[in-house]
Every structure is written in C-alpha cells, then in structure tokens.
Amino acid sequence: MSAAVTAGAKPAAAALRGADSGRIRRRFEALKAQGRGGLVTFVTAGDPDYETALAIVKGLPEAGADLIEIGMPFSDPMADGPAIQASSLRALKAGMTLKKTLALVTAFRAGDKDTPIVLMGYYNPIYRYGVDRFLADAKKAGVDGLIVVDLPPEEDQELCIPALAAGVNFIRLATPTTDDERLPAVLANTSGFVYYVSIMGITGTRSAADSDIAAAVGRLKRHTDLPVGVGFGIRTPEQAATVAGIADAAVVGSAIVEKIVAGLDGQGKAKPGLVKDLLGFVAELAQGVRGAARKR
C-alpha cells in the first residue's frame, strides 16, 4: 500500500512498487526497452454475447494489443458516449454479469499469462458484489488493475486502498481540468499507469490537438514516474501512432466498439466475420503504434 503524498514528491512511484501485480509494470518496462509506446484496447465484457466477447479478447494480443481494458457492463455508464453505453446495454441484455466478467478473464488467462488485463467501469456493480469478495475473485481470475471512473480520491478507502492492499493496481484518470493543485490527490494512490483523458466530456465524441496532448503528458511526467496512457477520441491508426509517439500508450475504445456494431445483424447478433474484422482493425492500430517515432 502506498504512503501518503509529501510535497514535491512523485507519489505514484511508491504505489507502483508497493501494489503492482507485476504484469502492467513488466509490460511498460518492455515497451520502454523496445523504444515505443503501447496500444491499449477497450471492449465491453459480453458484447454482443459472452462467446463472441471471449473470442475477441483472446485474439487481441496476437492482433497487437499490449494491454486490454475490459468494461464491466453497467446500466448507467454516465461517462461513456453512445457507442460504449450501447455496448453495455447489449451485454446486459445478453445476460452478462460481473461474475461472468470475471469468468471471462479466467478463461482468457488459461491461454495468456502475460497480457495485462484492466477492468474499467463504475462502483455500483462492485459495491453490490461486495468489495472484499470482488477483489479476491478478481485477483484469482487474473485481473491486474481497476479503473473506476466515479470514485474520486476522497473515497479511496472505499475501493482504492483495499485494491492496493490486495495487489491490484488502481489506475486513476486525469483530465484537462486536473490542475497542479489537484494532481497530488489524484496521484497519491494511483498505480500501474495514469490514464489521461485528453478531452472533456463523454467518450468517442472528438479528438484533442496533438500539442495539447504533448503539453499534458509533459506536465503529468513532472508529477509522477508512472507511465501515461492517453485515450478518448483516438479512432485511426494515424491518430494512435501520434499519441503513442507522445505518451507511453494510446488507448482506443469507441472506435473498436463501433467495429462490433458494424458486425451485427438486424437482431443484434454477431455476423460471421465480426471477430476477424475487428481484430484486423486492431492490427492496423497496432501497426501504426509500432511504427510511431517517439517524441520524447
């Protein structure tokens, strides 16, 4: 568990050493050694159904995903845009639960012991599941980190501190409005990496200027030794390459989820070729990221 922040310190480094489950740290160390940024991909667990979602997740590492974020379906995903909101509703309609989400991670881990898995979502399903039970089950399943968008630092005792004690990274979001006065609180118990939300508003709506991203990453790096991943609004291999050349990773979510939508029939069922087409798109993103020239 990380110590309290002291003035002028880079607080997250202690949290990384104290609570990191290992896979996230090792993956970013490997990326640094390769001289490139990473690709983080997001899909919602159970979208459009459990078996299709599992096939997608299993195929992501070979397609080029360096880390995988898996959304925990929730009925009121307020920070997400239309594409990811709809993906949650499809998953819930197909019978997806938090327990099945952990089962999906367990099934993935049977064939992949190395790729970091981060669960992303909201606190309500975890609270209903039971924090202690959830953390124990998540750790057993092979979850490496959590992003819980509706728990601010003032509520760290609810989930963040218990997660760190359980050896599960707690990854915090920073935004364009997270100023230097607020950053120490945001970073105090953050571990794994920092997720910089490059635009204000909901996911998948627009993109930030490259110069703004570069300035924001530079500012974060002055406050923390943790890797910085940048997301929200990345839709093309070219955009992913640009961001991966600035930050430690580019995070792509809505554009991937929209590929799932494109592979559904009129009844919302997966058409033949959905998984192949989606993984082909991820491969294009990965090729862009791997060809990006580092700018720092």
Enzyme catalytic residues: 69, 80
Q: What is the DSSP string of 188-236?
A: TT--S-EEEE-SSSSTTS----HHHHHHHHHHHHTT-SS-EEEESS--S
Q: How far apart are CA 182 and CA 250, in angstroms?
A: 24
Return the structure tokens found at 244.
């991966």
H or E segment to which residue 296 belongs: none
For residues 39 and 278, give the distance between their C-alpha atoms in angstroms, rounded to a whole number.
15
What's the Cα-to-Cα distance from 27 to each of 19, 114, 118, 120, 284, rounded to whole Å? Answer: 15, 8, 13, 19, 20
Tokens of 211: 């110069």
